[in-house]
Amino acid sequence: MTDSQTAVRIANMDKFYATFHALKSIDLEVAKGERIVICGPSGSGKSTLIRCINKLEDYQAGSINVLGTELDDNLDNIDEIRRETGMVFQHFNLFPHMTILENCTLAPMLVRKQPRVEAEAVAMEYLTKVRIPEQADKYPGQLSGGQQQRVAIARALCMKPEIMLFDEPTSALDPEMISEVLDVMVSLADEGMTMICVTHEMGFARQVADRVVFMADGEIVEQGAPEPFFNNPQQERTKAFLGQILGH
Amino acid sequence: MAKTYAKPGILEQLRADYFSNKLDAAMTLVFGTLVIWVVWNLLGWGIIHAVWTQENREMCGHGGDGACWAVIDARWRLILFGLYPFEEQWRSAIACIAIITVGILSCVPAFWHGKKLAALWITGFAIYYVLMRGGVFGLSEVSVQDWGGLSLTIFVFAAVTLLGMPTAIIFALLRRSDLPWISRTMGLIIDSIRSLPLLSIMFTFAVVLPFVLPSWLPTEKLYLVVIGYALFFACYQAEIIRGGMQALSAGQEEAAKALGMSYWQRISYIVLPQAFRNALPPTINQLVITFKETSLVVIIGFFEVLASGNAAYGNSDWNFAHIEVYSFVGLIYFIFVFSLSRYGAYLERRLAVATR
């Protein structure tokens, strides 16, 4: 894989919380256009890993390179990487004091210096894409969880990122709202967006993932294409995990 | 057939609210009588039997059953303008109105932009200073020492709030810095200043500081006292703002970071608006306290509205009329404090849409 095709390269990365070794010698390479699903038991470090990619979490050893930019202590590099990576959170984290439209236009106007008219046009385009253009003038608190999460996806897309990070996007949703969010993610994957998703939605993983990464105890235990990963897992811990979440 | 809700009649409603059982009825009668008695006496004293004009002043104090508002008629200019030269008091009035107008305008959402607010307040204070101080445009010069009355109270309050609020924001941000030596030092400064009485801070700034400061710095007592008071205000307000910030979930800043927003963009568009919304009730509270405590500038010899009130009845003609003077000054305070509290309620309603 040449550099121009690599979206994210994590090499020999370690993360500590004080003395707790949260991530252990992580090596992970994600190609442009690739869809990665990261799964694993709770506390395995999968959210921490994805949060390291845009430096919401610091790491202590090794290196992370995103789209050719080294993620180090240089604030300019961090800003550069954050501009190019969108992130969707478990709890949506919409800005409650702004309308849906303002949520979507704020960063493009401040960070990308887009004129308001242009930013609003782009925002309406993406709100239409996630199928809630009619909610543009409402406030987040007036929307259901599923609608809020779709807005969060639109808000991230308005920055026209190269990579989208999803941190358990459906875990905080009522069951009947999960599919509306997954549908949006599937259509995004179909358009060739580079995606790294931490999720427990194994149906989604089977449908769109190019590669499934299984983590436990801060390590990548096993990874592979969905078909062999689900049908013929190699590691005992993977088998145990899959047995638990697919076993009924 | 569908049931419909029958609205209770007035008597039924009264009975339910005030006479629902024997104890309820008894309390209604006792407190109702008390309220009627107090209101009746106040009306009788303050309005029905009151003397309103100086022409009738000889009726004051005889019989003693009515308020002598003649004292206000005679001395209102002293109360509102203090020792400001009598012939020039129109300047003080316009200056005061200018500051109040600017204050009211900056409460209007249409003016909530940094540049507009800055322009507004610079204009307001420039008008105030030129009018009060004079010495230009053919206005005679008036020493700061002679500023007084309501104009002075409003000036001190506006200046303290305006200097204090940005300082408070900076203090609050330093207080929650990631670098422990910064946040701890700021915490120590805030705690030290909060542990001092306001009176001693004012005294120190006005009287002691001029001896210590290099001679090229301005040593006008009033300005020094305003700076000291602003510092005091900032320390309290910083903790109020910090409280408002702590109520924000960490996810808010993370979302802003993930969108590539810089520190100042996150602070000014995401953190502060929500922090101020959370901290609105204690902020209004702090403003009310600050407004009332402007009366402490009397200790360095300034006659703000309360001290001017003291002077207003402090001569042999009117020395029986202190209740009337204090009622009048109290009414002025009430108008300001009540407006502040109503404005706070308006803001809460306005912001409530975005809270749910």
* Contact (CB<8Å) B354/A54: no
Spatial contact of B238 and B171, defined as CB atoms under 8 Å apart: yes
What mean pLDDT comes out for the span B183-190?
Answer: 93
Nearest CA to A130 out of A150, A102, A148, A105 is that of A150
- Please state, in angstroms and rounded to a whole number, the distance separating the CA atoms of residues B331 and B325: 10
Strands A61-66 and A69-70: antiparallel
Q: What is the largest CA-CA distance in chain A?
A: 55
pLDDT, position B1: 59
Nearest CA to B290 out of B243, B337, B238 is that of B337
Spatial contact of B276 and B46, defined as CB atoms under 8 Å apart: no
Q: Best mutation site among B259, B265, B276 for testing chain A: the one with the most A CBs within 10 Å? A: B259
Compute the nearest-CA separation of A239 from chain B (Å).
Answer: 34
- Please state, in angstroms and rounded to a whole number, the distance separating the CA atoms of residues A232 and A210: 16
pLDDT interval class at B63 (50, 70, 90): low
- Tell me which chain B residues have a C-beta less than 8 angstroms from the C-beta of A98: 354
Residue among A56, A111, A141 whose CB faces B260 most closely = A111
Spatial contact of B205 and B225, defined as CB atoms under 8 Å apart: yes
Compare all CA atoms of chain B with the CA of A85 and give the residue at the minimum distance: B258
pLDDT, position A1: 47
Residue among B254, B262, B274 whose CB faces A56 most closely = B254
- Tell me which chain B residues have a C-beta less than 8 angstroms from the C-beta of A155: 259
Residue % of chain B over a pLDDT of 70: 96
Please enumerate in sequence order all residues whose Cβ is within 8 A of that of B97, keeping only pairs 6 or more positions apart, or say none.
Answer: none
* Contact (CB<8Å) B351/A82: no
A169 contact B CB<8A: no
Compare all CA atoms of chain B with the CA of A143 and give the residue at the minimum distance: B356
- Tell me which chain A residues have a C-beta less than 8 angstroms from the C-beta of B251: 89, 91, 93
Packed helices B322-352 and B70-81: angle between N→C axes, nearest 10 degrees: 60
Spatial contact of A193 and A181, defined as CB atoms under 8 Å apart: no
- Please state, in angstroms and rounded to a whole number, the distance separating the CA atoms of residues B317 and B61: 11
Q: Best mutation site among A73, A97, A109, A157 for testing chain B: the one with the most B CBs within 10 Å? A: A97
pLDDT, position B354: 55
pLDDT, position B62: 57
- Tell me which chain B residues have a C-beta less than 8 angstroms from the C-beta of A94: 255
- Please state, in angstroms and rounded to a whole number, the distance separating the CA atoms of residues B190 and B168: 10
- Residue B105 corresponds to which tokens in the numbers above? 């305008």
Residue among B258, B274, B351 whose CB faces A56 most closely = B258
Within B266-321, residue ranges assigned H as helices are 272-278, 280-293, 305-313
SS3 A64: strand
Q: How much of chain B is helix, strand and coil, in % rounded to 5? A: 75, 0, 25
- Please state, in angstroms and rounded to a whole number, the distance separating the CA atoms of residues A240 and A39: 13
Q: How many CB atoms lie within 10 A of CB A216?
A: 20
Nearest CA to A9 out of A62, A61, A56, A57 is that of A62
- Is residue B245 predicted with pLDDT exceeding 90? yes
Residue % of chain B over a pLDDT of 90: 28
Residue among A93, A110, A141 whose CB faces B265 most closely = A110
- Please state, in angstroms and rounded to a whole number, the distance separating the CA atoms of residues B256 and B254: 5
- Tell me which chain B residues have a C-beta less than 8 angstroms from the C-beta of A159: 259-260
- Please state, in angstroms and rounded to a whole number, the distance separating the CA atoms of residues B13 and B81: 51
* Contact (CB<8Å) A95/B258: no
Complex ipTM: 0.92
Q: What is the pLDDT of residues A125-157, one digit of tens each?
A: 999 999 989 999 999 989 999 999 999 999 999
Q: Give me the torsion for CA of B161, B269, B278, A140, rounded to 10°.
A: 150
Residue among B252, B353, B355 whose CB faces A95 most closely = B252
- Please state, in angstroms and rounded to a whole number, the distance separating the CA atoms of residues B127 and B135: 13
- Please state, in angstroms and rounded to a whole number, the distance separating the CA atoms of residues A223 and A228: 10
Residue among A56, A152, A155 whose CB faces B257 most closely = A56
Using a 10 angstrom Cβ sphere, with 0-12 exposed, 13-18 middle and 19 or more buried, the burial of residue B180 is exposed
- Is residue B171 predicted with pLDDT exceeding 90? yes
pLDDT, position B169: 94
pLDDT average per 10 residues of sequence, chain A (248 residues): 78 91 92 92 91 92 90 88 93 92 94 94 93 91 91 94 93 89 91 92 90 92 91 90 80
* Contact (CB<8Å) A107/B274: no
Beta strands in chain B (DSSP E): 148, 303-304
pLDDT interval class at B64 (50, 70, 90): low
pLDDT, position A4: 77
pLDDT interval class at B311 (50, 70, 90): confident
A247 contact B CB<8A: no
pLDDT interval class at B111 (50, 70, 90): confident
Residue among B256, B262, B274 whose CB faces A97 most closely = B274
Give the mean pLDDT of chain B: 85
Nearest CA to A197 out of A38, A69, A83 is that of A38
- Is residue B356 predicted with pLDDT exceeding 50? no
A142 contact B CB<8A: yes
- Please state, in angstroms and rounded to a whole number, the distance separating the CA atoms of residues B153 and A48: 55
pLDDT, position B167: 94
Spatial contact of B218 and B248, defined as CB atoms under 8 Å apart: no
> Which of A100-109 are b and which e, b meaning 16 or more Cβ less than 10 Å from the residue's Cβ?
bbbbbbbbbb
* Contact (CB<8Å) B255/A89: yes
Angular region, B53: left φ>0, alpha ψ -120 to 50, beta rest: beta
Compute the nearest-CA separation of B262 from chain A (Å).
Answer: 8
* Contact (CB<8Å) B269/A94: no
From the centroid of its chain, how far is CA A96?
21
Residue among A98, A139, A159 whose CB faces B259 most closely = A159
- Please state, in angstroms and rounded to a whole number, the distance separating the CA atoms of residues A87 and A94: 12
Compare all CA atoms of chain A with the CA of B261 and give the residue at the minimum distance: A111
Q: What is the largest CA-CA distance in chain B?
A: 90
At residue B68, what are phi and psi to the nearest 5 degrees?
-105, 80
- Tell me which chain B residues have a C-beta less than 8 angstroms from the C-beta of A85: 258
What mean pLDDT comes out for the span B84-91?
Answer: 79
Q: Give me the torsion for CA of B127, B133, B134, B140, rounded to 10°.
A: 150
- Tell me which chain B residues have a C-beta less than 8 angstroms from the C-beta of A110: 261, 265, 269
